[in-house]
Structure 1
């Protein structure tokens, strides 16, 4: 017999299995050997005493069922019909697995390197300020999320089965906690191994994954995409193409525009990374004076404000908050500065950082209209290049203490930072467009009222945080997920404008794979 119990526990009880078992014995009358399973776990820090709410299933006189239902029982698709996948991020990898599950052979093309080899290029950015345009924090096996955090939280509940995505990750080596924690997180030190396991599943089933395989052209005939041309000169054909290139593949957007494949400029958000001492954020969130203790994880926050700039409301919000994390250089070309955040699985850095970004509308792109569908992308690019030029032309990032920025003072000194290439004191108003700078100025003061202690010169802003989402949308039909004009092309994931993180991108990859199968491959198999 199974019963569900809701427990309100202190952190040392909730995060220690033996103590949790004891709490269940008291609450449920469960014996010391009674099987149980955590269903949900979340931290409640709304009052001065921090509690953890844990929902558990307790199994009386029966064994606990298997933790996950998903099984890695893949058919051999070596000789099956072929579906092409451009990009080996979460959208591309999960699309490939879904194709395999349905008897289709995926061929995945990744412009960057495999997840292990990619590390050398990340080190070169941090230490030598050298940016490899095809292998960096955005490009390479696993996509942007692999080395820039690995957070799994998503609001996209309606776009697929979140639990299924999490179970696939657990089946490939992720921690069980991601199945029930309110804000699941894998960590940049753990995710590469999971990405490797996903790749091995694809290859072992007869699929193909090619690295350093940059797509430079599309084979189009009579309104249908027949295949892709690689930089090597190879032309590879398939029954359909899933375009899962991520939000930073500017050359792909330019290719689509050149080939007259319909694309659209899309609103996005742009701002800065802000870095606080993690201990300060813990003090604010957990109401603790010193160390948060052994059991509580590094605390996080989510902030939203409506700024008023020249009579127009501007949405300002925290983005990709990284407790116990690091700020990393996420440029994809020399001559630009882009920052992002990451956290290791233990979240044990002494820094907390978050993007604080401002909504950018299409009406803000004056002066860039000549770029038509690429107007937002060129606007984004211009700010990244300006930041780099003002900071010396390397990966050193412009920075300013928060209160100094708000009060329009150049910071005479900067704080210690997790950003390895280094920071340079600059007036961030010179870097950012005026409407973004003013929106941030108002919002930092507002955030200080919501979180007492947040607004301080013991925090500094580092710029620019510009790759929050794709500045381009590749439009697709609502029902079929096929491009609105080019048949057999399935725009997918963050790069096409239909996802916003690892889980939502993975779910969109699965949906696009299913759509391709339904539209083109099942009819072929049934002949």
Structure 2
């Protein structure tokens, strides 16, 4: 086998029936030659959009399977040593799978509902403005990623084997395309079934999965975590505990603090969602009025360094969702939070992205009295203001983009993908000055980098506040065990050690491996 690099047109590269024939023609191979796409990425830097590909060409040897991970080879862990995993997001699910692979029995606790039952609660948020504090876009099987987008790219290549994570997802029903695309994406419509398949693997191999099981107490003896208690009063004991509760489980941070388990404030980011017509972004990126039937909805990544009152802070795009929707992501009544998602086909008329400002510890001085929870308190205060300005429902405050940069309240708003609806406000009444002014500066800069981006056909929707956890649960850099509480392994986004589905999954695997390494004997 050898790898060749070639360039095809989008019509050739994304032709589901004849793509391999086009590859053979370019390489001058026989019509029956065995070829397979290894990597694929879109190059839109010139006027003529191209698709760059790495292609595997096989000689007489058999074509090996792309996916080597085999669910059927996992051991049965009934009766094996128990590790309790708190949280069934990507970190918790992949930790549970890895524990099984290493011969341990995972006991997975999830405060929310299973992935199918969550749908009714999401419908209630969108249509009735009712927020279920235990079942929403953030809480429930699969975590925030299940119904938020399903992007699978990460810069955290040193944290683990990205390819392995993608293999496991394919083994549970994802398309093999995620293993070849430069920016892989599953889609919110397909992720639920994959998550359900992972849960079934865990149970089939002897693990336990408990839904509607909210942890309310940590039982510590000496300096060791011995058990956790659920709201029902049920006690869950284990030889070790992986805490993978996500960035929005605020009550967990507060319970840890009350139990004198060390936590600390950390930098995070907060801002807004900006929504454009997808056609506008396509025109900018592909330099054409119509992308046609073969090019996918285009995306972008932007960053700008701002200066305000002598302090430099970055402003950057986050979780860009081409052909997507803005969704309500509050986890409690009395707050408005927005996020983005895309279905697998990315065929919505809208493109949206978080545009967020980096917030450092010194920016939280007004909340210093809350100690390690100061960032959380700042976050909550802004979300409450967004709720109040939106009319004390899940209606979100919004402003047209040029109007925002000119501090002008919009007389009307554009159509939107955000189902609960928008209310025109002056966003400087929602956002603190140090965030508001940096966003204005950044949007003007983005308009210069992408001609046509700064337009009143776009609008901002507030607030995008759950980009990452404002709290870190400190752990040893090597063992991954909590710095002062033994047998507790903080994990994933909520613990402050990941930033997306893949990085959280890799962190979950690493924590499982360290439990076995430290406590196997």
Matched, 1:330 2:329: yes
TM-score by length of 1: 0.98
CA RMSD of aligned residues (A): 0.8
Tell me whether 1:92 sits opposite 2:96 in the alignment: no
- Measure how far apart 1:20 and its partner are: 2.7
Residue 79 of structure 1: aligned partner:
79
Cα offsets for 1:48-104 (capped at 9, x unmatched)? 110000111011223321121111121111100100000000000000000000110
Unaligned runs of 5+ in 2: none
Match of 1:349 in 2: 348
Write the distance in 2 (CA, Å) between the matches of 1:199 and 1:15: 33
**For 1:3-24, what per-residue CA distance to the aligned partner results, in whole angstroms no more than 9, with x for missing partners?**
2111111001111144432333
> Following the alignment from structure 1 to structure 2, what is the Cα–Cα distance between the partners of residues 208 and 18?
42
CA distance in 1, matches of 2:141, 2:170: 19
Task: Determine whether 1:504 maps to 2:503.
Answer: yes
Deviation sequence 1:411-466 (CA, Å, 0-9, x none): 00000000000000000000000011100101111001100000000000000000
Residue 231 (structure 2) aligns with: 231
What's the offset of the Cα at 1:395?
A: 0.1
Matched, 1:132 2:132: yes
The aligned residue for residue 144 of structure 2 is 144
Contact 2:114 2:141 in 1 (8 A): yes
**Residue 394 in 1 paired to residue 429 in 2?**
no
TM-score by length of 2: 0.99
* Distance (Å, rounded) in 1 between the aligned partners of 2:214 and 2:281: 42
Q: How does 1:232-311 map to 2 (within 5 A)?
A: 232-289=232-289, 291-311=290-310
Q: 1:138–1:332: 8 Å Cα contact kept in structure 2?
A: yes
- The aligned counterpart of 2:314 is 315
Whether 1:168 and 2:178 are equivalent positions in the alignment is no
Q: CA deviation at 1:366?
A: 2.0
Distance change (3 Å), C-alpha of 1:62 and 1:30? farther
What's the offset of the Cα at 1:515?
Answer: 0.5
Partner of 1:5: 4
SS in 2 for 1:485: coil
Which residue does the alignment assign to 1:426?
425
CA distance in 2, matches of 1:17, 1:330: 35
Answer yes or no: is the 8 Å Cα contact 1:21–1:32 preserved in 2: no
Does the CA contact (< 8 Å) of 2:20 and 2:36 recur in 1?
A: no
Q: Which residue of 1 aligns with 2:112?
A: 112
Q: Report the equivalent of 1:52.
A: 51
Where 2:163 maps in the other structure, the secondary structure is helix
Alignment check: 8 A CA contact 1:304 1:318 kept: yes
Q: How far apart are residue 31 of structure 1 and its match?
A: 1.6
C-alpha offsets along residues 187-225 of structure 1, whole Å, 9 cap, x if unaligned? Answer: 000000000000000000000000000000011111100
Matches within 5 A, 1:176-195: 176-195=176-195
Match of 1:380 in 2: 379
C-alpha distance in structure 2 between counterparts of 1:236 and 1:141, whole Å: 19
Give distance in 2, aligned partners of 1:449 and 1:391.
Answer: 31
CA-to-partner distance for each residue in 1:357-389, whole Å, 9 max, x for gaps?
Answer: 000111111221111000000000000001101
Distance in 2 (alpha carbons) for counterparts of 1:17 and 1:251: 48
C-alpha displacement of 1:295: 0.5
Deviates more, 1:304-313 or 1:337-346: 304-313
State how far apart, in whole Å, the 2-side matches of 1:20 and 1:74 are.
Answer: 35
Partner secondary structure for residue 24 of structure 1: helix
Establish whether residue 36 from structure 1 lines up as the match of residue 35 from structure 2.
yes
CA distance in 2 between partners of 1:469 and 1:39 (Å): 32
SS for the counterpart of 1:368 is: helix
| SS state at 1:467 partner | coil
For the residue of structure 1 that corresponds to 2:457, the secondary structure is coil
